[in-house]
Amino acid sequence: MSLHAFRKGTPVNTEQRLLTPFTARSTAAEVIAGIDLTGRRAIVTGGASGIGTETVRALAAAGADVTIATRRPEVAEQLVRRPVAVPGAGSVRIAPLDLSDLASVRAFAESWRGPLDVLVANAGIMAVPRREVTPQGWELQLATNFLGHFALVTALHDALTASGSARVVVVSSGAHRDAPFDFGDPHFERRPYDPWTAYGQSKSAEVLFAVGARRWTGDGITVNALNPGYILTNLQRHLDDDTMRAFGVMDAEGNLTPLPYYKTPAQGAATSVLLAASPLLDGVTGRYFEDNQEASLAADGSATPGGVAAHALDPGAADRLWQYASAALQL
């Protein structure tokens, strides 16, 4: 299997998909089994809950020293108070980070010392019911899910370069297929705000970020995006009970009832851990994965779930988005 880098202007080649021996039901622990990350340093944004917590546990169990970057440090304290109980486990620490606040992002990046080997851009918000904006006037989902992570990763570029073989993992979503990035009105200043369109746009931006980061291959930095699948976590906190019932994941009494194809958080974290640590991903960049495999290109208008939309792998759009984000952040 050819593990080529995604070069500028190169269309996606679905005949050279990277396939692994893992499945949609593999857990993070299974994916990382036998991999030694001793001496490696990692950051997991949003690592205090859900698949972020499982990502932290798996990386630390393999020996990595992990920093949980979170808006609510008090929630992450239990992960520090209860160290990963396996021989050779790495340390876990907490640092405050609010991705919607550029001052917080800058403070976090400025406090980092030394090389950085892995950054998992895991934090996110979904389907905020009403349009909310940051002090910069940015729509909140785009600001948190994409622009905040873009600011963080670019601010830590030198630390990633110092690693010599750094990996950035961007947790996107299958929702990207429904909403290309709208360069004309990314913050819903003129078009009607829709929570799912805003969410999908932010997730398209995250995949395009991975494609645009092919410019960093000479620095030893690879960036890949992923869809973790359906998992019941705190990500659904903005959805009301009627919406959850309409999705079929809540009964009349308000109990959560995951559908058969839903994953556990440990299974949902597996693809993140695969991209962060597996030697199968050495040198691979600019791609999109789901269920521990590189995703196929989704057919336009297909009702079949899964796959990656062509608009999220467009190198021209990726470069345009990079320029837009750099200008917005005054980089």
Q: 34's torsion region: left (phi>0), alpha (psi -120 to 50) or beta?
A: left
Q: What region, left, alpha or beta, does residue 321 occupy, with left being phi > 0 and alpha being psi -120 to 50 degrees?
A: alpha
If residue 243 lies in a helix (H) or strand (E), which one and from where to where?
Answer: helix 241-246
* Pairing mode, strands 221-227 and 288-290: parallel
The structure tokens listed for 30 are: 């299974």
Instruction: Verify whether residue 199 is a known catalytic residue.
Output: yes
The tokens 């009627």 sit on which residue?
A: 242
Residues in the chain: 331
Q: Please give the Cα distance from 18 to 253 (Å, whole number).
A: 43
User: Which helix (H) or strand (E) is 32 found in, with range?
Assistant: helix 28-32
Give 260's contacts (C-beta < 8 A, 6+ positions apart): none
Which is nearest to 321 in space by CA: 223, 216, 208, 224? Answer: 208
Token pair of 305 as six digits: 């779930």
Q: What is the 3-state composition of the chain as percent helix, strand, coil, each rounded to the nearest 5?
A: 40, 15, 45
Helix (H) or strand (E) segment spanning residue 272: helix 270-277
- The sheet with strand 221-227 has its strands ordered as 92-96, 65-70, 41-45, 118-121, 166-171, 221-227, 288-290, 293-294
Q: Which of 193, 199, 230, 324 is catalytic?
A: 199
3-state secondary structure of 228: coil
C-alpha dihedral, 215 to 218 to 221 to 226, nearest 10°: 50
d(CA 307, CA 285): 17
Element holding 317 (H helix, E strand):
helix 315-328
Q: Which amino acids are annotated catalytic? A: 199
